[in-house]
Structure 1
Amino acid sequence: MKQEAKLIFNNIKEQYVHFGLPVDGIDENTDFAIHNLKEIHTTLPYQSLIYRPNFFSFVFVKDATGKYTTDELTFDIVPGTIYFTNPGHFKSHNWLQMQEVYLVTLSESFLKENVHPDIFEEFQFLLAETVQPRVLAPTAFAEFEQLYLQIAKEYQNHSPYRNRIIGNLFVVLLLKIKEYFWKDYNPIYEGNRSSQIVKEFKQLLEKHYRDLNKGLVEKAYRVQDYADAQSLHPNYLSNVIKIKTGKPIGTWIAEKTISEAKALLQNSKISIKEIAYRLGFAESPHFSNYFKKHTDVSPVLFRKLHSMAAS
């Protein structure tokens, strides 16, 4: 899939408004939505534009056909298909015929607040780059149907406990997904892919700090920026870096920042204010506090000590 798309949506309502689809059944007061797509796509076939959502999507296809694409991969949709995607991927879908397809969308904050505070520890598959869809036998699909229909019922019931009830039902749904989807997990593929992600992260880290030093860019990258560069969810990137290298991604960034700062303090005569600016700090006091936190000495003292040692 070509990734020139600039359509980025933070929630399902933004997406539907942009595409001219009905939004009557969407509650703006929660980062959660569930509905039967047959009520949305009244004219078929339907081909969406390429877009990039910043939310999780779970699709339960009881009776429909079509295709969906995530990044460069295209999958057929047939009755009994279940699939999900996480934020940050370029997507599109093509519906040919449809009788019943339930779509669940929710944000990371909803997952953490109402499902599990350590959601990505408990359900690591949520951050996998691409999870193959599953086509289940009718008896197996019926287990999911019972759950998502109950969730849909609770969504329409504006109880003060609605989000907590939905959250608890969603735990069961995620456990069933883990049971059916994760049994064919391929650690060899994941390992190879993870190695490539780490390699690209390290290359970008080096390039970015060279660009900062040369004044080609002004702001230091955050984890989100490194994730965006590889079209990954930031939590997924962080997990891969920690698992493959043994160090959190924040440590990699901090160590690189301090390393560059030390080199500039030792080997140049430019002011600390200019060094701070080159490393992406808006103010030199912020840089000084950051440097001291990681080295136990201030930039001024570090430069003085090393100039004395050199002489």
Structure 2
Amino acid sequence: MKSKSIDEFYEEISSDSFANPCVLLPNGIQKEIGHFNVFNIKELYERLKGHCNMPYDRRAYYKISLIRGKNRVEYADRTIEIEEHALLFATPKIPYNYLPLDMEQSGHFCVFTSEFLTKEKIGMDLDKLPIFQTDGYPVFQLTKEETNEIDLIFKKIHQEINSDYVYKYDLIRNYVAELIHFGQKLQPVTALYSKHNSAARVSSLFVELLERQFPIESSRQRLELKSAKDFADRLSIHVNHLNKVLKENTGKTTTELISERLIQESKILLKETDWNISEIAYSLGFEELAHFSNFFKKQTTLSPLSFRV
């Protein structure tokens, strides 16, 4: 699945509400590094005339939501039922779908890019936080008191983003960090999660992590996850366990599945682009052209140049 950018996010909600995307942008955001915005769910829901369903998709931005109302959240291969109040953390690593089950929707959500909340700015690495890990629990049931506390933080964010304070985004970063720490202190409500076979879940996440790296759209783009160990580390499991699970569920090893996807993309790049073979090799994660040529020939019996002709 192709990642949804912050621009596409604005295009989506503005097309549903027939509004100019610029109207939705916060004041002064162009002066900042990265992007941040906050929304009132009830107001946005009314603006979208109830069309609030979000596609099951990976997003290139982070999202924190305080949800009031009956909802269903599909997160990776899990389904989570929300009966009343919940705090939801979404990461670009895993796709999710948020489906309102009644018309009584309210609360807040904020969206931000990794550039807005860098380690240098808040003193912590987002992708290393437990709450944003692929094997973590992203939804937390809230008590009435906890809901009021989170609501107050969001109201402060709304107040600041509409202010003329020169350093308002620095203050907002502190509020977002407070939301993250609040979530990490909560215990996950595991009873809310549908029962899923753990092996099926691992397989599903592996496929998502593999596919999210494609298509390769620029010769400067490069794969991050290239080996079985890379995927196992991202999933926080041992590489032998990943191999065992995939073999049982697909009949193929991790390396075989990765190789098949690399060959598929290699053929597309060789036939559909004018990049030289060195550029294709680099974008697919090969350090040396010879390594790519040997890999391609082993899988197809042809050299990359012969296949291209």
Structure 2 residue 79 is matched with structure 1 residue 82: no
| Cα separation, 1, equivalents of 2:101 and 2:288 | 53
| Higher normalized contact order (CA 8 Å, seq sep 6+, divided by chain length) | 2
Return 5+ residue gaps in structure 1 as ranges.
Answer: 205-217, 228-235, 246-252, 257-275, 292-311
SS of residue in 2 equivalent to 1:54:
coil
SS of residue in 2 equivalent to 1:98:
coil
Q: Deviations over 1:126-158 (max 9, x none)?
A: 133562522211012222122221122112123
| Cα separation, 1, equivalents of 2:137 and 2:185 | 13
Tell me the residue number matched to 2:71.
66
Structure 2 residue 180 is matched with structure 1 residue 174: yes
Q: Cα distance 1:90–1:170, how it changes in 2: closer, same or farther (>3 A)?
A: closer
Q: Cα distance 1:68–1:196, how it changes in 2: closer, same or farther (>3 A)?
A: closer
1:128 equivalent among 104, 123, 134: 134
| Cα separation, 2, equivalents of 1:18 and 1:156 | 23
Amino acid at match of 1:161: Y
Amino acid at match of 1:91: N
Amino acid at match of 1:107: T
1:116 equivalent among 115, 123, 126: 123
Structure 2 residue 128 is matched with structure 1 residue 142: no
Q: Following TM superposition, where does structure 1 have runs of at least 4 consecutive aligned residues deviating by more than 6 angstroms?
A: 191-195, 197-201, 218-221
| Cα separation, 2, equivalents of 1:200 and 1:77 | 27
| Aligned pairs, number | 235
Return 5+ residue gaps in structure 2 as ranges.
Answer: 191-195, 212-217, 240-254, 259-276, 292-309
**Superposition pairs of residues 150-229 of structure 1, within 5 angstroms:** 150-181=156-187, 222-224=222-224
Q: RMSD over aligned Cα, in angstroms?
A: 4.8
| Cα separation, 1, equivalents of 2:17 and 2:226 | 33
Q: Deviations over 1:2-47 (max 9, x none)?
A: x7xx683335423323444645343253511111011111176435
Q: Cα distance 1:7–1:20, how it changes in 2: closer, same or farther (>3 A)?
A: farther
Q: How far 1:106 moved relative to its partner?
A: 0.9
**Superposition pairs of residues 259-270 of structure 1, within 5 angstroms:** none
Tell me the residue number matched to 1:10.
6
| Cα separation, 1, equivalents of 2:37 and 2:203 | 35
Tell me the residue number matched to 2:300.
none
Amino acid at match of 1:33: N
TM-score by length of 2: 0.57
